[in-house]
Structure 1
């Protein structure tokens, strides 16, 4: 969900103790990894905006009267859709990276696009069978979502020379099938609250992305 550049999501069914932090956090992972669930909780607890690349992609499709599958097919034949989306996400990252305020950016390329603006980069994942069960009932069917994953990875490699399997620069890689939703949230919360800028000896370099 987006509102211009940002979407401030505050789930009414979850009330967490506030997280006092100014970190710019990116969350990435394949469909069904649990990114949306985590981002909504973090956004509410940190009282900060949250932007989803997937929501922007869907909004672009709706503006054109496309289904999600039609939008994906169109993106396979032209780089204009991906480049417009990624340029917007990178612009948002630059804006919030200079703001010294908490912010959450979620997309498959969020960690790459945010670059040095991000303070904490997360990669979420889960075994295929778990992710497929989680996406059951969504607009996309399981085969369609699997095709989208492969399609996106190929486009990222072709357009930006990005290998989505290169995860060295992520600060945290988490198998969300090993913990409950609450457990995942508490693990990430602990990482945020225990972060000490003065004790930070340095992150891995994020490869530059030229859009």
Structure 2
């Protein structure tokens, strides 16, 4: 049942949506709420990365350090995410893919590509309960950006091809959800004049 503000109302859509952003941007919170409203699954690159760390009995910081020394881990993760994007891109069903490279990996398959961000001090406060220190978060961001550039010649700071960019520090969690909800519900493919193109990645 929907609440007075409509926050629990279902979203009738078949869009394939990607959500990206740095640690602490609010992507997980948004994706869980969207998946519930859309009645669809979502896959998080962060969860898969954490599973890789658990499988190897390593901390996130240790796995990040290992990934710095070899492209095997990153490419395996990206191949898996790309396979998921290919599967859902052809399914004509609602789906959400969340990772730093989700918009790139999904490419033309994605119907709506979203980038979330917030000032660093806000993001640091949000990750307090994740077992990752401020320094570790900064190291991870720099490390990932360097690897993306090295492997794929991707500048993670280039957000020009995203359809929607939101500073999640400016609105409440519900406010961010409402903004994205409106974008989804107001999307009409018949008046869509075209998304920005993205290069094809080959993990």
- TM-score range normalised by the length of the shorter chain: over 0.9
Q: Which one of the candidate residues 122, 132, 136 is aligned to 2:114?
A: 122
Q: Which consecutive residues of structure 2, in runs of 5 or more, have no partner in the other structure? A: 1-6
Residue of structure 1 in register with 2:61 after alignment? 69
Give 1:202's aligned residue.
Answer: 194
- Is 1:92 aligned with 2:84? yes
Aligned to 1:148: 140
> Counterpart of 1:193?
185
SS for the counterpart of 1:167 is coil
Deviation at 1:42, TM superposition (A): 0.1
Q: Does 1:134 align with 2:126?
A: yes
Count of residue pairs the alignment pairs up = 198
Which stretch of the first structure deviates more once superposed, 178-187 or 62-71? 62-71
Unpaired runs of 5+ residues, structure 1, are 1-14
Offset of residue 77 of structure 1: 0.4
Structure 1 residue ranges (4+ consecutive) displaced by more than 3 angstroms after TM superposition: none
Measured in 1, the distance between the counterparts of 2:55 and 2:15 equals: 33
Instruction: Supply the distance in 2 between the matched residues of 1:69 and 1:178 (Cα, whole angstroms).
Output: 30
Equivalent residue in structure 1 for 2:160, among 168, 171, 174: 168
3-state SS, counterpart of residue 174 of structure 1? strand
Task: State the SS of the aligned residue for 1:56.
Answer: helix
Check if 1:104 corresponds to 2:85. Answer: no
Q: Which TM-score applies when normalising by structure 2?
A: 0.96
SS of residue in 2 equivalent to 1:197: coil
Structure 2 partner of 1:30:
22
Aligned residue runs from structure 1 range 175-190, under 5 A: 175-190=167-182
Q: What are the Cα deviations for residues 101-156 of structure 1, in whole angstroms up to 9, with x where unaligned?
A: 00000000000000011000000000111111111121111110110000000000
> Deviation at 1:55?
0.3
CA distance in 2, matches of 1:119, 1:206: 13
Report the equivalent of 1:50: 42
- The alignment's C-alpha RMSD in Å is 1.1
